[in-house]
């Protein structure tokens, strides 16, 4: 499956710091103080029955909003030690009323890095990050190593799950996940029955499922024409079958294009309509409003057509779409 990611901010790693570790079987999520602000919220910033609709984009999101209107979420991509870059983005988003969704990668892209994280070698870095996030004025959604199925060269699915769980447990031990919703992101292709080579369970064992704030999914229009109804629907059913019907899904990357059969605007309208009618199980959607890392002839940008841009703008105006403020 084509990888569609980019780094909007870069930084130097903090390096390994050996501090006391916590047991791998630490208790699952404890809600931070921010979560209590909304009745029924399951994680800091959660708006039950509403959807944070936003985007990722190159350059300034304020420039992009001049065409789309104000969005409710800003998804950005970072590196392990980019503290100042992340802080600048998060504070700017909070002032603008957007929920930040930060994805960060491991401190290196080498074989064994997930195992090193799982062993506790980088606990000090995690604790520093936890304290920093607890100090922000509003919630942040955080993802470690989105789409791990594309990073087979650095470890196995079980090693990813162990690293993800270790980060969660150390973070939870340090600040009780204050201001933080920790969510994995897996490509929808892993759940697709057409895919005979992958299964979601190795990446999402029970240890991850019970800790995660929600399940992040990357899902783009493809030649099948299937939208959220079919593709997110089967993932919601999968969560139910695993005994986690209380967990929602959040779409970390999504996009539509006129390169495939049918109009992109129609695909988006149908997909948004399904999400809006299932807002008890869909909590966030980030549109990939960028031309980076895309195949020739495939245009995900909202400005590909007036119809697509207007369809997205209409979704932002929906009573289901929400913002932090």
Q: Is the pLDDT of residue 30 over 50?
A: no
26: confidence class by pLDDT, cuts 50, 70, 90: very low
Q: Is the pLDDT of residue 247 over 80?
A: yes
User: What are 175-192's pLDDT values in tens digits?
Assistant: 999 999 999 999 999 999
Higher local confidence (pLDDT), 27 or 303: 303
37: confidence class by pLDDT, cuts 50, 70, 90: low
297: confidence class by pLDDT, cuts 50, 70, 90: confident
**What does the alpha-carbon distance between residue 286 and residue 317 come to, in Å, rounded to a whole number?**
15
Q: Is the pLDDT of residue 226 over 70?
A: yes
| Residues 6+ away with beta carbon under 8 Å from 314 | 269
Least confident span in 16-25, 94-103, 290-299: 16-25
CATH match for 33-322 among 3.30.420.40, 1.10.10.60, 3.40.50.2300, 3.20.20.80: 3.20.20.80
Q: Is the pLDDT of residue 22 over 60?
A: no
Q: Is the pLDDT of residue 203 over 50?
A: yes
Mean pLDDT (the chain, rounded): 89
**What does the alpha-carbon distance between residue 24 and residue 75 come to, in Å, rounded to a whole number?**
29
Assess contact for 181 and 139: CB atoms under 8 A.
Answer: yes
Q: What's the mean pLDDT in 120-131? A: 98
Q: Is the pLDDT of residue 15 over 50?
A: no
The string of DSSP letters for 78-91 reads E-TT-HHHHHHHHH
Q: Is the pLDDT of residue 14 over 90?
A: no
Please report the pLDDT score of residue 11 as a whole number: 34
Domain boundaries, the chain: 33-322
Q: What's the mean pLDDT in 9-25? A: 34
Please report the pLDDT score of residue 132 as a whole number: 98
> The pTM is what?
0.89
Hey, how many other C-beta atoms are within 10 angstroms of the C-beta on 318? 16
155: confidence class by pLDDT, cuts 50, 70, 90: very high
Q: What's the mean pLDDT in 156-161? A: 98
140: confidence class by pLDDT, cuts 50, 70, 90: very high
First to last CA, the chain: 36
**What does the alpha-carbon distance between residue 98 and residue 143 come to, in Å, rounded to a whole number?**
17
Q: Is the pLDDT of residue 19 over 90?
A: no
């Amino acid at each position: 499956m084509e990888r569609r990611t980019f780094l909007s901010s870069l930084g130097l790693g903090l390096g390994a710091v050996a501090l006391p570790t916590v047991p791998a079987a630490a208790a699952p999520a404890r809600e931070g103080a921010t979560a209590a602000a909304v009745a029924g919220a399951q994680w800091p910033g959660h708006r039950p029955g509403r959807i944070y609709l936003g985007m990722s984009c190159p350059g300034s999101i304020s420039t992009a909003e001049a065409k789309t209107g104000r969005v409710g979420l800003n998804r950005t991509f970072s590196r392990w030690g980019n503290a100042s870059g992340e802080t600048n983005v998060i504070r700017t988003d909070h002032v603008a009323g957007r929920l930040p969704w930060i994805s960060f990668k491991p401190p290196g892209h080498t074989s064994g890095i997930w195992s090193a994280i799982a062993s506790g070698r980088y606990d000090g870095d995690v604790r520093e990050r936890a304290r920093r996030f607890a100090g922000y004025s509003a919630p942040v959604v955080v993802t470690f190593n989105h789409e791990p199925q594309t990073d087979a060269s650095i470890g196995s699915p079980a090693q990813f799950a162990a690293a993800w769980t270790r980060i969660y447990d150390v973070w939870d031990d340090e600040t009780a996940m204050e201001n933080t919703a920790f969510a994995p992101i897996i490509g929808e292709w892993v759940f697709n029955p057409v895919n005979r080579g992958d299964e979601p369970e190795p990446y999402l064992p029970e240890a991850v499922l019970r800790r995660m704030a929600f399940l992040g999914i990357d899902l783009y229009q493809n030649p099948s024409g299937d939208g959220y109804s079919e593709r997110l629907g089967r993932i919601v059913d999968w969560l139910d079958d695993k005994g986690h019907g209380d967990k929602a899904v959040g779409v970390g990357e999504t996009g539509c294009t006129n390169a495939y059969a049918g109009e992109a605007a129609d695909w988006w309208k149908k997909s948004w309509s399904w999400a809006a009618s299932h807002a008890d199980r869909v909590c966030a959607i980030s549109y990939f409003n960028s031309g980076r890392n895309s195949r020739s002839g495939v245009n995900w940008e909202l400005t590909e057509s007036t119809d697509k841009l207007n369809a997205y703008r209409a979704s932002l105006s929906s009573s289901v779409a929400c913002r932090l403020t």
